[in-house]
Structure 1
Amino acid sequence: MKKKYSILLLATLSIITFITLIPTISAKSSNLSDSQFELKPLPYAYDALEPYIDKETMMLHHDKHEKAYLDNLNKAISKYPELYKMGIEGMLKDLNSVPEDIRETVKNNAGGVYNHEFFWSIMSPEQNQTPSGDLLKAINKDFQSFDNFKTKFKEAALGRFGSGWAFLVKDKDGKLSIISTANQDSPISQGLTPILGIDVWEHAYYLKYQNKRGDYIDNWWNVVNWKQAENNYSDKK
C-alpha cells in the first residue's frame, strides 16, 4: 500500500511541476520569437514611385525578395540567438564576431535586408528632387560637378557585372566616392557610410525595363530622396 501511495505521490508531483513549468517554457519561446527580425513595411505605397518604378516590381521586390533575405537570416542565426542583440547593422559592421559557420550566410542575408531597407529610404514619391546644402557642395568638390557625379555613378551601376549595387559613400574623413558592390555586400562592412545607392539586380527593374539597365538608372534619378541623402551625409537619422 505504501509503495502504491509513493508512486501516486511522485506522479502527482511530476504533473504539478510540469504544469508549473509550462508558462516559463512558453515565455522563453515567445521571447525568442519576439527577438526575430521582422519585415518592415515600405515607407510609401507600392505604386508611389510610378511611372518610374512600377507597382508590381515594388510588390515582388519588397514582399518576396527582401522577405526571403529576412527569413534566411532568422533561420541562420536561430542557433545563436545572442546575435539578435547585435542587430543587422551591428553584425555587418563586425562580421568577425559572427560564428564562422554562418558568417557568409549572415553577410549575404543581413546585407540583403540592410541594403533593401536603405534602398526604400533613399527613394521618395516626392519626385524630381535635387541635391542641396552641404551634400551638393561635397559632390561638386569631389566630382567637380553634379552632372559629372551622375555620369560616374551610372558608369559604376552599369559596370557591375551580374547582380549588385552602386553606392555613393562617405569615408571617415568625409570624402565622397562611388563604389560598386557584388551581390548583397554592404558598404558598412567596409567602414563606409552609404549616402545613396541603387539596386542593379535584375529583379529591381526587369518587369518594366527588361534588359535596359541604363534606362532604369536614368529614370531612377526622378525618385531619389535627396532630403534623406542629405541626412545620411550629415549623419542625421
Structure 2
Amino acid sequence: MKYEMPKLNYPLDGLKPRISEDTMKFHYGKHLQAYTDNLNKLIKGTEFEDKSLEEIVRTANGAIYNNAAQVWNHTFFFETLSPTAKPISGTLKAKLIATYGSIDNFKNQLMTKATGLFGSGWIWLTYNERNQLNIEATTNAGNPLQNNVTPLMTIDVWEHAYYLDYQNRRADFCEAVWDLTDWYLVEERMEKNLFNIYY
C-alpha cells in the first residue's frame, strides 16, 4: 500500500487571513509531504506494508510509528479546519457544557493545555467508550488512538504550524485554529464514535 497526500477541502489560501497560504505551502505541502514520503520508504518490505494507516499508528513504534502518526495527525488536523467553519452546537455543545460547565470554560482549558505544552506536540479533544470528553496533550508524534479513544479535534502546536504567521505567539495561532475548526464535523465524529472515519 502506498500512502498518498490527503486532498484538502479548500485551496491553500482558503484559510486566510488566520492561516496564510505560505504556511500551508510549508506545513501541508512540505512537512506532511515529507512524512508521507518517509512512511512509504520505511514500510516497504515490512509487516506494515499492507496495513492501514490506523493499524500502523496503533501497533508500530520507532521511525515507522513517528511518520505514520504524523501523517495521521496532520491529515486529521487539516480536515478539521474549514474556511466556513460551523460553531459549536447541538449534542456536542450540550456534552461540553455538561462536562466543563460552559463553552468558555472548555475553551479556556483547551487553550491552557495548548499554550502550556512544553515543546512540540498536539492537543486533542477525545471521546472514550464511557461517553466522556477529555482534553489530552501528546508530545511529538503522540496519538490518542494508542489509548483506544476517539480523537474529535486537534491543535497542532509544533512550531512549523504557526511560526511563519505568528512567530512565538502560539496562543494567537490556537485562537485561529479555534475559529477555523468545523465544530459540526467534530460533533459528527463524536456521534459516529469511529476511529477510522477518513481512513
**TM range, smaller chain:** over 0.9
Provide Cα deviations, 1:3-55, integer angstroms capped at 9, x if missing partner.
xxxxxxxxxxxxxxxxxxxxxxxxxxxxxxxx211112222101111111111
The reply to whether residue 105 of structure 1 matches residue 63 of structure 2 is yes
The reply to whether residue 77 of structure 1 matches residue 43 of structure 2 is yes
Contact 1:121 1:228 in 2 (8 A): no
Q: Secondary structure at the match of 1:48?
A: coil
CA RMSD of aligned residues (A): 1.3
Larger Rg: 1 or 2?
Answer: 1
Structure 2 CA distance, aligned partners of 1:195 and 1:41? 19
Q: How does 1:19-58 map to 2 (within 5 A)?
A: 35-58=1-24
How many pairs are equivalent? 194
Q: How does 1:165-204 map to 2 (within 5 A)?
A: 165-204=122-161
Aligned to 2:89: 132
Deviation at 1:137, TM superposition (A): 1.1
Equivalent AA in structure 2 for residue 174 of structure 1: N
Instruction: Structure 1: give runs of 5+ residues left out of the alignment.
Output: 1-34
Structure 1 CA distance, aligned partners of 2:80 and 2:29? 18
Equivalent AA in structure 2 for residue 146 of structure 1: I
Aligned to 2:28: 62
Q: Secondary structure at the match of 2:123?
A: strand
Instruction: Give the number of the structure with larger relative contact order, counting CA–CA contacts within 8 Å between residues 6 or more apart.
Output: 2
Q: How does 1:207-222 map to 2 (within 5 A)?
A: 207-222=164-179
Deviation at 1:219, TM superposition (A): 2.2
4+ residue runs over 6 A deviation: none
The reply to whether residue 158 of structure 1 matches residue 115 of structure 2 is yes
Deviation at 1:106, TM superposition (A): 1.7
Q: Secondary structure at the match of 1:195?
A: strand
Identical aligned residues as a percent:
38
Q: TM-score, normalised by structure 2?
A: 0.93
Equivalent AA in structure 2 for residue 120 of structure 1: F
Deviation at 1:84, TM superposition (A): 3.4
The reply to whether residue 88 of structure 1 matches residue 46 of structure 2 is no
Q: Secondary structure at the match of 1:41?
A: coil
Contact 1:195 1:229 in 2 (8 A): yes
Contact 1:57 1:207 in 2 (8 A): yes
Equivalent AA in structure 1 for residue 20 of structure 2: D
Instruction: Structure 2: give runs of 5+ residues left out of the alignment.
Output: none
Equivalent AA in structure 2 for residue 110 of structure 1: A
Structure 1 CA distance, aligned partners of 2:81 and 2:130? 26
